[in-house]
Amino acid sequence: MVSAGRAGAVRGSHATIRAVNGLTARWAGSVEGDSVCSAAGVWPLPAIPADGAAGPAREEPAEALGVPAGQAGGPAGELLPFTARRGWC
């Protein structure tokens, strides 16, 4: 479960944190120059429909998310309550 810890730090399952950090790292690796980005607020958006999709609609988001589509719904569910409270989505 992802939750706010001390000083608003995000705490969650290791798998969820790794998946979100992986997407953030891929984004950051594609940006030239100085930039700040985080996938924490947007990671659930492709994860939820990917979990129930088929074909390319399931495969492409899974590749971007860094987890199999069938395993994306749980981590997305962990992130949504936190991001909604913090105004990230």
Residue 70's CB is within 10 A of a number of other CB atoms, namely 12
Given CA atoms 53, 59, 64, 69 in this order, what sign does their dihedral have?
Answer: positive
- Tokens coding 60: 């492409």
Residue 49 in 3-state DSSP?
Answer: helix
Tell me how far apart the terminal alpha carbons of the chain are, to the nearest angstrom.
18
Q: What is the tens place of the pLDDT at every residue in 27-72?
A: 888 888 887 777 888 888 899 899 889 999 999 999 888 889 999 8
pTM of the model: 0.66
What CA–CA distance (Å, rounded) separates 57 from 69?
A: 10
| Per-domain boundaries in the chain | 3-86
